[in-house]
Structure formats: C-alpha cells, structure tokens
Amino acid sequence: MGQTITEKILSRVMKRPVKAGETVYPVPDLMTVHDWYVVNFDKALQEQGVTQLFDPTRVLISTDHEPVATNPANAERQKNVREIVRKYGITQFFDVGRGGLGHIFPMEMGTITPGMFVLAYDTHVTNYGAVGCLGIPMVFEIPEVLACGSCWIQVPETVRVNLTGALHKGITIRDVSQRMIVDIGEDNLDYSVVEYGGPALKDIDFGGRMTLCNNPLEMGAKSALIETDERMIEWLKPRVKGPIQPQVSDLDAIFKSVYDYDLGCLEPQVAAPPRPDNVVGVSKVAGIAINHAFIGSCANGSIEDLRDAASILRGRKIHPSVRLFITPATQEIAVRAGNEGLITTFMECGAVMTAPGCGPCAGGRIAPVAPGEVSINTGTRNDPGRLGTTKADIYLASPLTVAASAVAGEIVDPRKYL
C-alpha cells in the first residue's frame, strides 16, 4: 500500500508503518515555542512538579511575537523567558536580534530539512512545509510535548494539489493561495495536510512556497507541505550540512482528494473582514479608505515579498493619511533587504521598518489600529481584534496590493502601479 509524504514521515518517527486515521504519539524531531508562551508552559510544568524536559536539545525558542519589549512588564517577561531557558537547559534559544520569526529562520539556518517532523506552540509552524517538513501546531498541549515528548494526534489525510499554469502580471502567490483555500473548501481542508506538487511548482520561489503552506490552516488544515523538487534542493544546499532526503508521495498513495489548481487567477484577491475566507476580487473592495498598512508576517515577510512591495513603492510616497509598517521576517531577510536597497526605498517613501519577527500581526502588540480605523495588510488573519481593537476592519492582500493601497490611501488594484 502506497503512502503519502505525511504517512511516510510519521511512519519513520513511529518506527512502523502508519496510515491516515490512526491515533499515535509521535516524538517530534524538534519542538518550537514562541516568546509569548514560555512563561505559561513553565507554569504548567511547575504545577505538575516537572523539573526536566523530555529533551531540551530538541526545543527551539524564538523571540518573535514581541521582539522589542514595549513596556516594563514585557521587559520583565523577557527576563523571565531567559531564566526559564537557562533553567531547563534549552540550547536552541534565539532571542531578539538572533533569528527573527521562528517559522522562517530555522529553515534559513538549515535546521529544518525535508522529512522532519516538528510540533510547535503556534499555528503557523506549517511554514516548514516549504522545505518538505511536516510541522503540526499543538497549542494547548505543548507542555505535555515538552515534558513527555509527545501528544496524541490522528495521522491526517492528505489533500493533493497539483499547481498548473502561470501567474499573470500583478498577481502573486498570496492572491492565488487565499483564493484557493476558499475554492478547495473547509470540508476538504479540515484536519488534512495539503501537499503541493505539479508542473507550476518550479516557478514558485521560496517566499511563495511559505505562503502556500501558511494559508490553508486558516481553513482548518492540519498542515501543508511541498514535495521535494530541484528548486527546493537548490535552496537548501548551501544551508544544510548533512544529506537531503527528498520527500514525495508514492504513486499509489491514497489521497482524500486531488485538485489541479491553475495559477492563472484573473484578478488580485482580498480577504475582507471578518474572516480569511471572505475572499473577493479587489474590484469589489476598491475605493475603501485605509489608515493602516503592514507588509510582513509569516505569510508574506520574505525577501521576495519585500521586493514586490519595493517595486511599487520605489519613487513614490505613502498617502498622507496612511501609516505603513514593514517587517522583514528574519535577520537574514533584513540584511538582504538592506543590501538590495529595499530599506532605502521603504524609508524614502515614508514607511516605518519594525524589528524582525511577526510584526503587528501578532495580535497588534506593536503598531496596532485604533477603533474605527481600516487596515490592509499581508498578515495571516483578519478576525476582529487581530490588530488590537475589535472595532477596526482588516483586509488581507498581497504585498503588491498593500503597497499600492498605501500609496493611494484606499484599496486599489496594484496592476496600474506596475
């Protein structure tokens, strides 16, 4: 019986063949936790009298949700995080300035490789699928994973998506991706892993691959990953020390469903309030005045996304009634943005750069919106309150659409700015 990539990865971890639907307790190769949950997991472990982690060398902690403490209470929390890291002997700790967004920099550093299995405190660990790793969010139960080494999961079914066609000018993977999750639908995506392949994959860069692996979980997917191709291996080669094990599903693997999805989306797509699946063509929302714009997050904080934004912003000025925040997701992306002159472009147009990490998307802890304001951004979600107050409207779009809208002062089709 053939296996999907997901079944193969979990079979390796379980040291026996497993198939979709089984309940298993797999021990992950890596467990990641972000800065805003460290104090909480420590409290949960203390309540059970746990003083040692299952394997502290397999734990990675990143300071990304609030890299720059913005008040004394948060500075104290950061201090506590450092003490907790020392107490448990956690070796992979990436404090402010050392890595950036934890769903991205471990791939840049070569820590994440095809075929790995990661459990994480944070939903967007699915980004690791961009390099063929199965990243599964384990939110409330992460103290159990840290103490006992595992937690129950049901081996997920796989939805196979074969990408075909080509992007039209002014349309990005974000447009296609947020349209696609609506087209495939919640019933298919719920508790499934989305596995991407197909002839168009070779044309999709690393940033686009992260976006593809990021969006589906907003519609209930368990994870998402990309089958190993030459482009992935080329990206990994200079970063990974050991051998790279390509991951592909067997020809006779059983999928929950199979889609051919054409990248030739006709119009830029915008997720309107109040949910990421409320996706419409940009023409439906064009003209809505905005106050706040943001480019970054684990969905669209890559160097390719910043290049897209700069292609619109170069030589232009942000509209007087708009503030635009730009967050390179990682230290490496920030360095590249500097080397390529993108930061100069952003600063000259009137945008503000924030510290590498999640940016405003992490609950609006930095650069939030005020009641009655409207934001358009490249973040992951647009639930009321995602950027602070519940009384603001949040639209999600591609870096091109966000940049063009920041210039126009209202939501616009970016194609006339290219």
Partner 1 sequence: MDWIYTGRCWKFGDNLAVDADLTKKEFASQRETRPEVLREFCMCGVDPDFPKKVSPHDIIVAGRRFAQGNPHIQGLLGIAALDLGLVVESIPRGSYRNAINAGLPFLAHCEGVTKECETGDELRVDFSTGVLENLTRGTRKSYEPPSKEQLDIIALGGWKAMFAKRIATMRAEGTIPAA
Interface residues with partner 1 (CB under 8 A) are 23, 36-37, 40, 44, 48-52, 54, 123, 137, 139-141, 143-144, 147-148, 152, 186-187, 190-191, 220, 222, 274-275, 363, 381, 383-385, 390
Q: In this structure, are residues 25 and 39 in contact, taking their beta carbons and an 8 Å threshold?
A: no
A 10 A CB-CB count for 96 gives: 19
Structure tokens at 389: 């107050």
Which CB sits closer to partner 1, 154 or 245?
A: 154
Cα 290 to Cα 293, 392, 395, 408: the distances in Å are 8, 11, 10, 9
Q: How far apart are CA 52 and CA 59, in angstroms?
A: 12
Give the nearest distance from C-beta 61 to partner 1 in angstroms. 17
Give the nearest distance from C-beta 23 to partner 1 in angstroms. 6
Q: How far apart are CA 68 and CA 65, in angstroms?
A: 9
Give the nearest distance from C-beta 243 to partner 1 in angstroms. 32
Give the nearest distance from C-beta 142 to partner 1 in angstroms. 11
Which CB sits closer to partner 1, 128 or 417?
A: 128
Give the nearest distance from C-beta 176 to partner 1 in angstroms. 22
Q: How far apart are CA 335 and CA 340, in angstroms?
A: 9
The DSSP bridge pattern shows strands 117-121 and 134-137 to be parallel
Which CB sits closer to partner 1, 165 or 274?
A: 274
Q: Residue 296, by phi and psi: left (phi above 0), alpha (psi -120 to 50) or beta?
A: left
Q: How far apart are CA 202 and CA 230, in angstroms?
A: 8
Which CB sits closer to partner 1, 40 or 257?
A: 40
Give the nearest distance from C-beta 175 to partner 1 in angstroms. 23
Q: How far apart are CA 377 and CA 24, in angstroms?
A: 38
Which CB sits closer to partner 1, 223 or 300?
A: 223
Residues 6+ apart with CB under 8 A from 61: 32, 33, 34, 35, 38, 81, 85, 90, 92, 93, 94, 102
Which CB sits closer to partner 1, 172 or 223?
A: 223
Q: Could you write out the DSSP letters of every residue in 53-82?
A: -S-GGGEEEE--SSSS--SHHHHHHHHHHH
Which CB sits closer to partner 1, 9 or 53?
A: 53
Give the nearest distance from C-beta 364 to partner 1 in angstroms. 9
